[in-house]
Amino acid sequence: MYRRLLIPPTFAFLALTILLSVPFSLLADEDKQTASFQSSPLNDAVPDPEEAALALAHRYLEANQESYGLTAADLQDIMVQSLYTSAHNGVTHIYLRQRFNGLEVLQSNAAVHLLPDGRILTANSQFFTHIDVRSLATEPRLTAAEALLTTAAHFGLQRPHTLTELENFTTDDKNETTFAPSGLSEQPIPVTLVYAPDSTGALELAWSTIIYDLTSDHIWYTQVSALDGRLLHTENWTITELWAHESSSRQNNIGSLGSEEIFDCAACCMFHLPLHAICN
């Protein structure tokens, strides 16, 4: 036998009021318990909305560092990968990456998404933890040129007679340079010193390169150890470009998603083709 439970209107109104008073930021991220902190609206009253959004993202990560297994040192040097506001809903999307010893740490990504009033919609972090206690090298044993030749050898590319650094690409940063195509690439070849994870997830000092293979349609995005030249990671960005092209050509055959908005995708990547990819 079922019994009907009658709730007095006054009690129902009170319960609804309490429910609506719960901050949305506590409901948006099911995977993390978010610590409370003061937020401020992202509107015209703020002199620089992007700086305000970035400050809120930093404060969120600092307030919730324990829930992500991070330390203050892990958040000491963070670079902005991308920051933009969606026109249709006013949500500000902030994609961040760690740096250590002044070098970019590849595959260390965090994303914070802010509502127009400054509250956290959702957030996630794949930052490397306890990065300051890892035994990480600071000086490469291989030069940028040696790393490029090693990378070319990994793909069976013909060794060039000479490698020429391009003066118009040269910066004061000794950790990055750009070489002429040198018979290896269709475009100039950037070589940058970074920290990159190996197959076990351990971080290692590495040289990162991008080669537009002359012998095929491949675009090789690669990191080799700056200590011994081992291949740490490689991606073929040609597949990504082909997917993007085919997806665009077929978009008219895809039905509407309806009125539901997709606010977050923890497994999504945003590509700035052909040179950049940002993953949540």
Q: What is the mean pLDDT of residues 61-83?
A: 96
Contact present, 78 and 103 (Cβ < 8 Å): no
| Cβ proximity of 119 and 42 under 8 Å | no
Q: Is the bond preceding 274 in cis, omega lying within 30 degrees of 0? A: yes
Lowest mean pLDDT segment, chosen from 38-52, 62-76, 115-129, 208-222:
38-52
- Tell me the mean pLDDT in the region 67-94: 95
Q: Which residues of 26-36 are buried (b: 16+ CB within 10 A; e: fewer)?
A: eebbeebebee
Residue 175 pLDDT? 92
Mean pLDDT calculated for residue range 130-150: 95
Q: Are 189 and 182 within 8 A, CB to CB?
A: yes
Q: Which residues, other chains included, contact 33 with Cβ-Cβ below 8 Å and sequence gap of 6+?
A: 64, 67
Nearest Cα residue to 182 out of 203, 199, 198, 159:
159
How high does pLDDT run on average in the chain? 78
Average pLDDT over residues 175-199: 94
Secondary element (H or E) of residue 52: helix 49-63
Greater confidence (233 vs 241) lies with: 233
Give the CATH number of domain 25-131; options: 2.60.40, 3.40.1710, 1.20.58, 3.10.450. Answer: 3.10.450
| Mean local confidence (pLDDT), 106-116 | 96
Residue 144 phi, psi (nearest 5) = -60, -40
The mean pLDDT of 268-272, rounded to a whole number, is 44
Name the band, by pLDDT with cuts 50, 70 and 90, for residue 161: confident
Q: Highest-confidence range of 10-14, 106-110, 156-160, by mean pLDDT?
A: 106-110
Give the residue extent of every domain in the chain. Answer: 25-131, 144-239
Q: How many CB atoms sit inside 10 A of residue 83's CB?
A: 17
